[in-house]
């Protein structure tokens, strides 16, 4: 009996070990944002599993968000709502290629129209991640053929983002204005066919996929 009680005590000690939050010296920095993205900082970070978790103000977008969340979860892409303290200034959302999660800033949650666009935008980055062969790497690839994204969107991306990421951000900005585009992309990511069988890859993406062994013919 004493041995049994000792065993239960040890189990309880291990089983109830609380998560210890890392110490953040300064909030709203890349350090705090990285801590959130790596899931080391969890206080004030909640997983979104249904549109209702975002609040009743999102009801006009309920059907779209249900489809988007369902499609994302099929590929184990998770969506989190986090406190503003984690995000660098003016960041409404971001996607992590390291763990295939994206994070929304709670500060802007009272603007459902804008935040639904953010969800589409970050969701498209997951689609780009999937297009780069697999979600299990940290690469992303342009999905759409040249000419699909309008020039005014491209110019906006070029003014807002560094040159190296502007093509990727232009696609995501374009997706933000379409209530079906990101859903379609995430459903393709979760589908049986490789992404490059659903979306004709651009010449550069095709070259990269071939070099990495994803396309063999």
Residue 104 contacts residue 92 (beta carbons within 8 Å): yes
115 CB-side CA count, 13 A: 25
- Quote the DSSP letter at residue 48: E
Reported as a single tens digit per residue, the pLDDT across 25-66 is 999 999 999 999 999 999 999 999 999 999 999 999 999 999
pTM: 0.90
Please count the residues of the chain. Answer: 217
Measured from the Cβ of residue 35, the count of other Cβ atoms closer than 10 Å reads 20
Domain spans of the chain, in order of start: 20-211
Q: What is the pLDDT of residues 109-153, one digit of tens each?
A: 999 999 999 999 999 999 999 999 999 999 999 999 999 999 999
Q: Give the model's pLDDT for residue 117.
A: 98
Q: State the pLDDT at residue 81.
A: 98
Residue 18's CB is within 10 A of a number of other CB atoms, namely 5
Looking at residue 62, its pLDDT comes to 98
Q: Is the pLDDT of residue 11 over 90?
A: no
């Amino acid at each position: 009996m004493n041995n049994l009680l000792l065993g239960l005590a040890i189990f309880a000690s291990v089983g109830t070990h609380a998560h210890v939050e890392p110490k953040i010296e300064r909030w709203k920095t890349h350090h705090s944002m990285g801590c959130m993205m790596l899931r080391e900082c969890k206080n004030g970070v909640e997983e979104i599993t249904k549109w209702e978790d975002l609040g009743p103000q999102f009801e006009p977008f309920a059907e779209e968000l249900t489809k988007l969340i369902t499609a994302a979860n099929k590929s184990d892409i998770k969506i989190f709502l986090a406190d503003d303290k984690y995000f660098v200034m003016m960041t409404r959302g971001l996607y992590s290629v390291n763990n295939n999660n994206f994070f929304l800033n709670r500060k802007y949650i009272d603007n459902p129209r804008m935040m639904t666009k953010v969800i589409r935008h970050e969701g498209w980055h997951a689609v780009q991640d999937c297009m780069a062969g697999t979600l299990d790497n940290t690469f992303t690839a342009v999905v759409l053929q040249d000419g699909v994204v309008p020039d005014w969107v491209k110019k906006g991306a070029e003014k807002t983002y560094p040159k190296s990421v502007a093509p990727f951000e232009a696609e995501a900005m374009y997706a933000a204005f379409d209530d079906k585009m990101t859903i379609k992309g995430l459903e393709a990511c979760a589908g049986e066919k490789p992404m490059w069988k659903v979306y004709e890859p651009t010449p550069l993406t095709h070259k990269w996929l071939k070099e990495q062994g994803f396309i063999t013919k």
